[in-house]
Structure 1
Amino acid sequence: MTFDPFGDFETAGYLQNALQLKDPIEVKESEHLSFEASIEDALAFLQNEPLIDYGAVLKVHEILFSAFYHWAGRDRNELVPHLAVFKGMHGDPGSTVFEHPAQVRRAVDYALQLAGNSGRFRDRPGEVMGQLAFAHPFLDGNGRTILLVFMELSFRAGFAIDWSKTQKDLYLRALSDEIREPSTGHLDRYLQPYVIDICSRDEWPGGISDIKGLDGMDKEGITYESLDDPEVQQIYKTYRTAAHAPMTGEPKTEIEP
């Protein structure tokens, strides 16, 4: 099943990309070229942004992918508010449920709230990464956008993840487990051995563009269904969204340098 939320794959290509590409390999290559060409601009934006909030997350995506996707910087709730997005077929064992589009911003805000507690963040980095991944704000480019935001957030908390030592399959498995069972330590246990102290952004280890698997939650087995489907509605009624964002009142969503 081709991921075609706009319903125009045959005429506009995958997600209405600028080159109207349809072949998955060509899409991946061109999309990654856009990412590589824009990394420095995105990192400079984050470094100079006084507060990391939801608007900053949207802006990072726009900087990274606007050359390839005209809708870059706009979230799922704006683009396809009528669709639920899954990894795998919904209802299948092992499938991943991403946040309801109407709750995407709330989910990201909660991740930023968690990252605002530096001590907890360092001890539980997977909790923050898992929450950002669960939000799945964008139709594509989530992994790489989230990575840059996470790197800046963790730098402001005084640490980094040595991503160059992680393994794609193990990371994605832990990430999927974290989304299904949030805040139970799946991704914390995987990432903890790779936590390092950091004093300068120049110390970020490994080539960012060479990190493997960051698009795995975007292109591998992604499906979508109408939110009008009673089965999909039931999934969101029973899914433990509260475990991802158990908060009341206004969350603290701004992370200072």
Structure 2
Amino acid sequence: MTFDPFGDFETEGYLRNSLKLKDPVEVKESEHLSFEASIEDALAHLAKKRSIDYQAILKTHEILFAGFYPWSGKDRNELVPHLAVFKGSKEDPHHTPFERPELIKRSVEYALELAANKKRFRERPGEVMGQLAFAHPFLDGNGRTILLVHMELCYRAKFAIDWSKTNKDAYLRALSDEIRDPSRGHLDDYLKPHVVDISSREEWPEVIGGIKGLDGLDKEGIVYANLDNPDIQQLYETYRTQPIK
């Protein structure tokens, strides 16, 4: 892992984890143990909220990952406001830029606004998921946090996604396409065949436990760059043609 936004990998491990682990396999295992141990608490938190807002999402992340990341529940704008984050490769580090740190909250709130139109949301579930993924609020744990939030939003709109029928690679391809080219139906087309009637919240921990790889955008190929870089500024000016309303 080369993603070291704090600049203290040698002393604090990957992303300042509580065990100071550096080995990628050990990090992934310990991080996921924290997630699995906290799923029910996180889902209960979301279920109790009268409305899902940005603070509810931050708290969900904190509940899920406080056992491993001391900074859990804090977004990128609070932790590393000077850094832009991308999913790409060393050869093409600007392949998929995520939202600028100072616009994360606004980006998430736009997704929640889209989900509030329940009829539209059922027709376009991928649009909401894509917008949440593009916001990429956290340094890690985005995919899993967003999954729980999306499930709760779907429940409130009286439908569900049958995640057991989805395919990791196909889903991630559609999600990446949605992030690069939003609101054009890339992820809607993939998810809509899996839309089913509402399911009981009691089934969710088991459902989530059976989903493999939906956190794939969290780590694979993640790189970062300083927002002061003129090339990075130009990239953000030209990347997305559809502004947040």
TM-score (norm 1): 0.91
* 2:168 corresponds to: 168
* 1:195 corresponds to: 195
Distance between the aligned counterparts of 2:121 and 2:242, measured in 1?
Answer: 17
* 1:215 corresponds to: 215
The one-letter amino acid of 2:242's match is A
Q: In the alignment, is the contact (CA less than 8 A) between 2:93 and 2:223 conserved in 1? A: no
* 1:29 corresponds to: 29
Distance between the aligned counterparts of 1:192 and 1:205, measured in 2?
Answer: 22
Q: Aligned pair 1:19/2:19, yes or no?
A: yes
Q: Aligned pair 1:237/2:218, yes or no?
A: no
Q: In the alignment, is the contact (CA less than 8 A) between 2:46 and 2:52 conserved in 1? A: yes
Q: In the alignment, is the contact (CA less than 8 A) between 1:131 and 1:244 conserved in 2? A: no
TM-score (norm 2): 0.96
* 1:58 corresponds to: 58
Q: Aligned pair 1:99/2:106, yes or no?
A: no
Question: What value does the CA root-mean-square deviation take over the aligned residues?
Answer: 1.7
Which sections of structure 2, spanning at least 5 residues, go unmatched? none
* 2:137 corresponds to: 137
- Structure 2 vs 1, CA of residues 179 and 244 (structure 1 numbering), >3 Å: closer, same or farther? farther
Q: CA deviation at 1:93?
A: 9.0
Distance between the aligned counterparts of 1:120 and 1:149, measured in 2?
Answer: 17
- Structure 2 vs 1, CA of residues 144 and 39 (structure 1 numbering), >3 Å: closer, same or farther? same
Q: CA deviation at 1:97?
A: 1.0
* 1:127 corresponds to: 127
Q: CA deviation at 1:228?
A: 1.0
How many residue pairs were aligned? 245
Per-residue displacement from partner, 1:16-46 (whole Å, max 9, x unpaired)? 0010011111111000000000000000111
Q: Greater shift after overlay, 197-206 or 9-18?
A: 197-206
Distance between the aligned counterparts of 1:244 and 1:105, measured in 2?
Answer: 15
* 2:224 corresponds to: 224
- Structure 2 vs 1, CA of residues 218 and 76 (structure 1 numbering), >3 Å: closer, same or farther? same
Distance between the aligned counterparts of 1:45 and 1:214, measured in 2?
Answer: 21
Q: In the alignment, is the contact (CA less than 8 A) between 1:107 and 1:244 conserved in 2? A: no
SS at match of 2:217: helix
- Structure 2 vs 1, CA of residues 90 and 103 (structure 1 numbering), >3 Å: closer, same or farther? farther
The one-letter amino acid of 1:168's match is K
Q: CA deviation at 1:90?
A: 8.3
Q: In the alignment, is the contact (CA less than 8 A) between 2:160 and 2:199 conserved in 1? A: no
Q: In the alignment, is the contact (CA less than 8 A) between 1:164 and 1:205 conserved in 2? A: no
Which sections of structure 1, spanning at least 5 residues, go unmatched? 248-257
Distance between the aligned counterparts of 1:185 and 1:243, measured in 2?
Answer: 14
Q: In the alignment, is the contact (CA less than 8 A) between 1:182 and 1:244 conserved in 2? A: no
Distance between the aligned counterparts of 2:147 and 2:94, measured in 1?
Answer: 24
Distance between the aligned counterparts of 2:119 and 2:158, measured in 1?
Answer: 9
Q: In the alignment, is the contact (CA less than 8 A) between 2:86 and 2:94 conserved in 1? A: no
Distance between the aligned counterparts of 1:120 and 1:9, measured in 2?
Answer: 44
Distance between the aligned counterparts of 2:91 and 2:236, measured in 1?
Answer: 12
Q: In the alignment, is the contact (CA less than 8 A) between 1:99 and 1:136 conserved in 2? A: yes
Runs of 4+ aligned structure 1 residues displaced above 6 Å come to: none
Q: Greater shift after overlay, 148-157 or 1-10?
A: 1-10
Q: In the alignment, is the contact (CA less than 8 A) between 1:162 and 1:205 conserved in 2? A: no
